[in-house]
Structure 1
Amino acid sequence: MVLTGPVAALRGALGFLSRIPVGRTDEDWEAFRRTPASMPAVGYAIGALVALPVAAAALAPVRVQSLAVGVAFAAWLSLVTGITHLDGVADVGDAAVVHGDADRRREALKDSALGVGGTVALALVLVGLVAAGAAVADVATRSLADAVALVVLAEVSAKAATAALVCLGDAPHEGLGSALTAASGPRMLAGVALVTTPAALAGGAVLGSGGAGVVAGVFTAATVVAALAFAWARSRLGGVSGDVLGATNEIARVVGLHAGVIAWTLS
């Protein structure tokens, strides 16, 4: 059956942003690339699925160490979403340490060999993800609902940050980045904001009296990551590439999780 409109866009987004076996047709891909709001829209389902190790540990009859939960969280996330975006982190890390003009940095993005910059970038993201999973596990010992809400908020905000770059950016060369940015524009940011709003409202309600601060912390963190990634990509690469989009998704998730936990602890 051929799906059209929002349903096809959501299926295309799930097929592209996760390894959930929904199947993916050319029509789904076309609908997805023309609908950046589908990215944060599927963040709700992906976030809930990614939170399963945290929930399982909190509900286990014996205490599970937070660090073990953090490792399981990172591993499970890779199984659910794949490692394609981590490749973007590695490529951007390699490009970031290149001395020279934008052409040389773009060459580094296309180089399949992993350099020092990419290794450090990957290590920081993975260590940050394990630490974030452990911190969320500690939250779950006091409130499982709050912990799940944090994970979902971070996932939706990371997808919204990536979608914002799609709406605002132009790609420096043909590829995944150009396929997405060419079909979007600044006016589509309204759709991204509309789809993201329920996460903020529901998250604030679940998290209680300090919920507004936690929501603000998560979304502010993702926004800062997106702004820095956009500025760096324009000045250093000449535009937003597919690797930049993938790296933004991964970094915004990690930073959003940590910001959310800190805000929750202070609330």
Structure 2
Amino acid sequence: MTGFLLALKSSFGFLSTIPVGITMEGLDEFFKRTYLHQVVGIVLGLMMGAVAYLLISFLPVYISAVLMIAFIYYITGLNHLDGVADLGDGLTAHGSVEKKLKALKDMSLGIGGVAYAALIILALYASLISLYDEASVLYSTTADLARIFFFAMFVSEVSAMQSMLTVAAFGKSIHEGLGSILVNNTTVPKYLIGFVIGSIACVGASMYFGLGISGIFVFLAAIVATFVLLNVSNRHFGGVNGDVIGASNEFGRIIALITVTLVLMYGGIV
């Protein structure tokens, strides 16, 4: 197996629960090509979009939203949500940077972590319901609503992957680990390759579904919001780690879904 194919296989093993197997050699090849985040994002986005399409087509929206969230965590795992929880513990810890870092890296879960993880899940659910409400104003058929959800789930996952690359490319590592390896290997050229792939995927999807170039606004909104998260992490911890990178995935996905809703609500793009 060539280095690229091994890296591609390992990217799915690292970023999803798809049982492709993963080795240290494979991880080394993947970290040399961190832009493959976007290949994984496109595939996972298509899977999530297809599931959302079917759920919206046959089930009430409230049940559909819960099942969509369940599928997201089934296919991506809980590592990123765990990063949100650890980030929450670190951000809510009082005192010096050292105390915040200790809380960030602590294996035990505190009330800050519980609160942040719960808020992320609630925000994800609220974003899906709000998306349905706004889409229902513009579209009258179930088929059209299902198409909007396919689009939203696809671009939000692509955007979430770019959020992770944004933290890795522009963040400063605070300790050794998988996060630091990702940070050290995500150079600006690799980031830009991921950016181009993600941009084309999002714009292509929005044009395919008759939403103009709105996909680029969704993609950029997630990136801008990630820079805010990066700034917060720098102020509290002096840099980033794997938890912050994982949390950016969850954060970017929600910002993207909110942006799709706002595009439908305010944009004359539809």
How does the TM-score come out when normalised to structure 2?
0.89
- Structure 1 residue 4 and structure 2 residue 3: aligned? yes
Matched, 1:76 2:71: yes
* Alignment partner of 1:50 is 2:48: yes
Match of 1:167 in 2: 169
User: Which amino acid is 1:251 matched to?
Assistant: F
Among residues 153, 157, 161, which one is paired with 2:155 in the alignment? 153
Q: Distance in 2 between matches of 1:173 and 1:43?
A: 27
Q: Could you tell me which of 122, 134, 142 is aligned with 2:117?
A: 122
| Residue number in structure 2 paired with 1:251 | 251
Question: Displacement of 1:155 after TM fit?
Answer: 0.5
Contact 2:131 2:260 in 1 (8 A): no
- Find the aligned partners of 2:10 and 2:193 in 1 and give their Cα distance: 17
Aligned to 1:35: 33
Q: Residue 136 of structure 1: CA displacement?
A: 4.7
Count of residues in Structure 1 that have an aligned counterpart in Structure 2: 260
Q: Distance in 2 between matches of 1:58 and 1:177?
A: 36
AA matched with 1:257: L
Cα deviation code 1:124-172 (max 9, x no counterpart): 1101112233345564833433321221111001101111221222210
**8 Å contact kept, 2:158–2:202:** no
Provide the rounded CA distance (Å) in 1 between the counterparts of 2:42 and 2:14. Answer: 15
Q: Distance in 1 between matches of 2:2 and 2:201?
A: 26
Instruction: Give CA-to-partner distance per residue, 1:28-67, whole Å, 9 cap, x none.
Output: 211211222111221011111123432222332xxx2211
Are the equivalent residues in 2 in contact too, given 1:85–1:243 (CA < 8 A)? yes
Structure 1 ranges of 4+ moved more than 6 A: none
Is structure 2 residue 265 aligned with structure 1 residue 265?
A: yes
Given candidates 196, 199, 221, the residue that maps to 2:198 is 196
Contact 1:98 1:108 in 2 (8 A): yes
SS of equivalent to 1:182: helix
Matched with 2:212 is 211
What letter matches 1:234 in structure 2? N
The alignment's TM-score, normalised by the length of structure 1, stands at 0.90
Q: CA RMSD in A?
A: 1.9
Segments of structure 2 that go 5 or more residues without pairing to the other structure are 136-140
Matched residues, percent identical?
Answer: 30
Structure 2 CA distance for partners of 1:79 and 1:103, relative to 1, 3 Å: same
